[in-house]
Amino acid sequence: MSQTPVIRIGLCGFGTVGQGVWKHFTRSRTELENRLGVRLELHRVAVRKLRKARSVRIPAARLTVDALAVATDPSIQIVCELIGGTGLARELTLAALRLGKSVVSANKALICAHGAEIFATAHRHGGHFLFEASVAGGIPIIKALREGLVANRFPHIYGILNGTCNYILTQMEEQDAPYKSVLAEAKRMGYAEADEALDVQGWDTAHKASVLAWLAHGVWVKPAQMVVEGIDRITPADFKNAAVLGYGIKLLAVIARDFSSDELSVRVHPTLLPVGNVIANVSGVFNAISVTGDVVGTTLYIGRGAGQDATASAVISDIVDAAALLRGGKSAYQPAAETLPARNGCRLAPPEHIKCRYYLRLTVRDQPGVLARVASVMARHHISIASVIQNPAEVADAASLVLTTHQSHERAMRSTLRDLARLASVLERPVLLRIGDFND
């Protein structure tokens, strides 16, 4: 009678996510083993400190401080990279892949910075790199794009990819509270990091958008090549103005491809969404992604985008897939095309081809002729005003001037903002938001 094969797993990193993986994997291991027909063993765990107090019990003999040793251990077939960053994480990921191992990662920054190298290494040495947990936590968006929607081309993908920002914006709107006080509360509750910049300035979302753009279009777009703007200049007044106009405000990643010109744009910015849009009504720490395919139409994915349980769920899903591969299965994760920098000649759209409508808020001197001067600047750049709202400003002897535009483009708006900021009657740097007309 043949023995049941054993698949050994190593965890590199044992913070919040790593402990969640251990906890939920241990609970469900028997069921997973029965499904796969193998024994699954969490063989070794790399930690920073051996004696640190943890929320899960783990035998001391399983612990080590040498993550690279775990990645290269010949008895370990699946390596989970859960340490974050792009230094040691890259080193151990490449080392494991060169040995033909399967690597599971939740590290969107690593994939954004070194994805091409990682996938080329996996392909060259027969390894596999699985990364469901890198985008949108427990939402299976990676599998949806790579497997379930493989027959489609994707003209539009957009959504909420950062739970911290969505929580802050939700609280600002519901409590009519300023950004700084809501941010402080989010930190107290553990929804925001001590250094919140990666989240609130849009960079975390940009890393995830880079991964989605590659999945959908085979192009690596770096954050430096995107429009990336954060939420830190939004005020409660913006929510009130948006409501008057029939919109809510969300920080979105927007990935759009025009297949007639074969141009791709990737953007991250606060966006006004119509109140009837499903994603406009996704609140708190939840994520939501709308994917429009040319065959299936529009599909929506909503769920917890971060946190121990949601991310652990995605990591364990990838561990199971990796184990199935070791049992002789096939994978959509390893096409030769993954090593190519671009597919089908797709190129990045220039700013003048990235078009939408805009919301512009100006703090101006409360005096005659200001609106005319503002309108003159906008007309000079061929931007047509659609609506005007004027309210008192928090600054003495000033007014808040809110304009929406008809469709324009990024180059014209950048020039307009530059010229508006030079007007003596404009007292603060203008606030620009995009209006999302996605027609879902």
Question: Residue 1 pLDDT > 50, yes or no?
Answer: no
Q: pLDDT band at residue 2, thresholds of 50, 70 and 90?
A: low
**What whole-number distance in Å separates Cα of residue 33 and Cα of residue 37?**
6
- Tokens 């070794």 correspond to 44
Q: Which residues contact 352 (CB under 8 A, 6 or more apart)?
A: 409, 410, 411, 412
Task: Average the pLDDT over 19-37 and give the result.
Answer: 93
> 177: which 2 tokens?
């509270």
pLDDT in tens, 224-255: 999 999 999 999 999 999 999 999 999 999 99
**pTM > 0.85:** yes
Question: Residue 6 pLDDT > 50, yes or no?
Answer: yes
pLDDT in tens, 275-327: 999 999 999 999 999 999 999 999 999 998 778 888 899 999 999 999 999 98
Alpha carbons within 13 A on the beta-carbon side of 117: 11
Is the C-alpha dihedral spanning 7, 11, 14, 16 positive or negative? negative
**What whole-number distance in Å separates Cα of residue 125 and Cα of residue 28?**
31
Which residues form the catalytic set? Answer: 208
Q: With beta carbons less than 8 A apart as the criterion, state whether 290 and 85 touch.
A: no
Q: Which of 1-10, 164-173, 291-300, 325-334 has the lowest mean pLDDT?
A: 325-334
pLDDT in tens, 71-119: 999 999 999 999 989 999 999 999 999 999 999 999 999 999 999 999 9
| H-run or E-run covering 32 | helix 16-36
Decide which of 3.40.1280.10, 3.30.70.260, 3.30.70.20, 2.40.420.20 is the CATH code for 351-435.
3.30.70.260
Burial class (CB in 10 A: 0-12, 13-18, 19+), 29: middle
Fold adopted by 154-305:
Dihydrodipicolinate Reductase; domain 2 (3.30.360)
Domain ranges of the chain: 6-137+309-339, 154-305, 351-435
Percent pLDDT > 90 in the chain is 81
- Tokens 């060169």 correspond to 98
Residue 102: beta bridge partners?
Answer: 78, 128
pLDDT value of residue 204: 94
Question: Residue 335 pLDDT > 50, yes or no?
Answer: no
What's the distance, Cα to Cα, between the start and end of the chain in Å?
57
Q: What are phi and psi of 422, to 5 degrees?
A: -85, -15
> 395: which 2 tokens?
């600054």
User: What architecture does CATH give domain 6-137+309-339?
Assistant: 3-Layer(aba) Sandwich (3.40)
Alpha carbons within 13 A on the beta-carbon side of 96: 33
Question: Residue 340 pLDDT > 70, yes or no?
Answer: no
